[in-house]
Copies of this chain bind each other. A is one copy, B any other.
Amino acid sequence: MDSVPTKKKSQATAVTAEPPAAPDRRSELLGTAAEVFAEQGYNATTVRKIADHAGMLAGSLYYHFDSKESMLEEILRTFLDELWDGYDAVLGAGLGPRETLEALVTESFREIDRHRAAVAIYQKESKQLVAQERFAFLAESQRRFEKAWLSTLERGVAERVFRADLDVRLTYRFVRDTVWVAASWYRPGGQHSPEEIARQYLSMVLDGIAVREQP
């Protein structure tokens, strides 16, 4: 199960919770669902599979959620909300372009660590989903995302921190993809911490993998 408690809220709910033994059955189920969606794909995941993983019958899920789609929506919304909490903090910190890029990448790997399943789902499904009204928030998020990265890269080029000959859009795509695609192989609790992966990754992106010729 995805044991990802929403950071700040979790404490609040723990306090106010009324039915003692039900701190958040809902989030528990969402975690389970996210896990299965990530592993098998949204379409290939039947409601019954989710229910099986949760130890209940398919129909029973509908007490908690309106539909399979609403589960997906909630999973993605929760993830993106948290992601933007992090990103906004970085973007509002008044850092230089290189430091911003480093912070964004590091924050991204942290989110992958926390929401691996949601990220994997996002990667695989968002392209089809954005077309639906219900998932318009994905498009909105993508726009903000693109803007944040592009402007950081452009600022870097302008300030001569990044190379002048970059095709900024192309670079943006490469960087974006490489970061998020990591969700497909990253396993939380493995040998690399998110921060370490970020460092390695940044080292490669910023300085390249080739040995520099010593003049």
Question: CB within 8 Å of B: which residues of A?
Answer: 40-41, 43-44, 98, 124, 127-128, 156, 160-167, 170-171, 173-174, 177-178, 181-182, 184-185, 192, 197, 200-201, 203-212
Total copies of this chain within the assembly: 4
B170, B192, B212: the one contacting A192 at CB < 8 Å is: B170
Residues of B within 8 A of A40 (CB): 128
B127, B208, B211: the one contacting A204 at CB < 8 Å is: B208
A59 to B146, CA, bound (A): 44
Would A44 and B174 be within 8 Å (CB), given that A162-B210, A210-B163, A211-B160 are in contact?
Answer: no
Residues of B within 8 A of A128 (CB): 40-41, 44
A215 to B173, CA, bound (A): 31
Contact B211 A208 (CB under 8 A): no
A204 to B162, CA, bound (A): 11
Residues of B within 8 A of A197 (CB): 170
